[in-house]
Amino acid sequence: MNAKASNKPMPLGRGLSALFGDADASYQPRPVAAAPVPQAQDGNTVHMLPIEWIQPGAFQPRRHFDDLTIQELADSIKEKGILQPLTVRTLEEQKNSFEIIAGERRWRAAQLAGLHEVPALVRVFTDREAMEIGLIENVQRQDLSPIEEAEGYKRLVTEFNYEKEDLVKVVGKSFSHIGNLIRILTLPETVKKMVNDGALSMGHARAVITAKDPEALANEIVKKGLSVRQAEALAKKMLQGKITSASRKESRADPDILALEKSLEQTLGLKTKLQTKGSKGSLTFYYTDLDQLDELIKRFQD
């Protein structure tokens, strides 16, 4: 299966319903000699597939899965089952093997829940469609971090010859949004990790891109809890040479403070920043979704 497309993609903008074939009878499951679904005649038939026959999709844009939310989904599956089937395609070169097109979180949670088989729709997709569907599904559900979303766009551009105009039609995002996201992939790995962890917002990342020393500015933003506007102003001053990187001039943080931050992070599962000045200071927790915020609030209320 060749992931590299040689031609420009056809006009897009069909949306998830068209890509999944909900209204298109032409989508037919591939005949699989030893698979449990060779008799299926339409892609809307739900099949119960052994969970070990299913594997993650090669074109899944999501790289990070939150353990807490997966466990919560597993608990829900134990009580109510899987309410929405996975969407998979057959792997012709492997016997009894299916690749996930949509539903990897459900598949992971089903394993935690101890299920032996899961409901799935078996459909036919090209590599390009598999990548497109995975990206659209996650973007629409806001499941991706800015870095994951940007990497998804970049793969469509570099591996499948998409133009940015095509991406605008596919995902329903503005040209500037897609362009800004792809730009943040040029940031240092340490800064991209801050974005993935939620310590830096997309607005912060755009400001950091313009800095002479992106890593130093990023550290300054996190350390001082700067707003996006403050970060933009600091980046401008650094470019104009009015200030140098304050992060490099300051002495190393107190090892006791670092140890306490690490201990809190391990206990809460959240990035933590402790700043002190004499007998005063501030304690900041960084969460990446509302579930983490709810869990943090519950801990303080107990």
Q: Among all residues, which ones are annotated catalytic?
A: 104
DSSP character string of 186-234: GS-HHHHHHHHHTSS-HHHHHHHHTSSSHHHHHHHHHHHT--HHHHHHH
> What is the b/e burial string over 237-274, where b = at least 16 CB atoms within 10 angstroms of the residue's CB?
ebeeeeeebebeeeeeeeeeeeeebeebeeeeebbbbb
CB 22 within 8 A of CB 44: yes
CB 121 within 8 A of CB 46: yes
Residue with tokens 């070990």: 52
Structure tokens at 30: 């591939």
| Residue 93 three-state SS | coil
